[in-house]
């Protein structure tokens, strides 16, 4: 009887431990994803992308193990048409975001070019316009 109780408690401890690890892997993926999106350095961004991929693989393996051991129940299956709609919506949003960023980037580049040209024009006008001091000492010719 005592042996059976030890096995049951060990099984629950293992299940609790696996749930904790699974939850930690999910959290870690979120943190790595955030770090990836906030990385300015391509090398750091690539490192976090690789860490995210590796952690997702581990999470998937642990999930499959827990599912096989009936330790993890999934929600009901989604309809293919619902998944297709979600995918299409996400792709449309991504495309609109790309277009928006490209539009704003090109607009900013044009404005920066115009501002630089305006600055040069103002500098040239100032160089060609006599100062108040010059006007006082050199009266205009009539």
- Using alpha carbons, list the distances in angstroms from residue 31 to 3, 16, 28, 52, 115: 42, 23, 5, 9, 40
Written as six digits, the tokens of 41 are 């350095």
Q: Are 55 and 25 in contact (CB under 8 A)?
A: yes
Residue 58 has pLDDT above 90, yes or no: yes
pLDDT score at 82: 85
- pLDDT band for 111, please (50, 70, 90 cuts): confident
Per the listing, tokens 């096995």 go with 7
User: What's the whole-number mean pLDDT along residues 110-116?
Assistant: 74
Residue 129 has pLDDT above 50, yes or no: yes
Domain boundaries, the chain: 11-74
Written as six digits, the tokens of 45 are 């961004």
Residue 107 has pLDDT above 80, yes or no: yes
User: What's the whole-number mean pLDDT along residues 62-91?
Assistant: 86
Indicate the DSSP class of residue 138: S
pTM for the whole structure:
0.53
pLDDT score at 66: 92
- pLDDT band for 62, please (50, 70, 90 cuts): very high
User: What's the whole-number mean pLDDT along residues 41-55?
Assistant: 97
pLDDT score at 142: 43
- Using alpha carbons, list the distances in angstroms from residue 83 to 59, 78, 80: 22, 7, 5
Q: 80 versus 130: which is more confidently predicted? A: 80
Distance CA 131, CA 138 (A): 11
């Amino acid at each position: 009887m005592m042996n059976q109780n030890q096995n049951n408690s060990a099984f629950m401890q293992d299940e609790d431990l696996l749930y904790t690890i699974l939850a930690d892997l999910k959290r870690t993926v979120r943190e790595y994803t955030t770090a990836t999106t906030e990385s300015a350095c391509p090398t750091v961004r690539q490192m976090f992308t690789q860490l995210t991929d590796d952690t997702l693989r581990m999470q998937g393996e642990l999930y499959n193990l827990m599912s096989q051991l009936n330790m993890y129940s999934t929600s009901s299956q989604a309809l293919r048409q619902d998944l297709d709609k979600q995918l299409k919506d996400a792709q449309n949003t991504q495309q609109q975001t790309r277009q928006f960023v490209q539009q704003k980037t090109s607009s900013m580049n044009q404005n920066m070019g115009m501002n630089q040209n305006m600055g040069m024009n103002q500098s040239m006008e100032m160089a060609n316009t006599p100062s108040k001091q010059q006007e006082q000492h050199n009266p205009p010719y009539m």
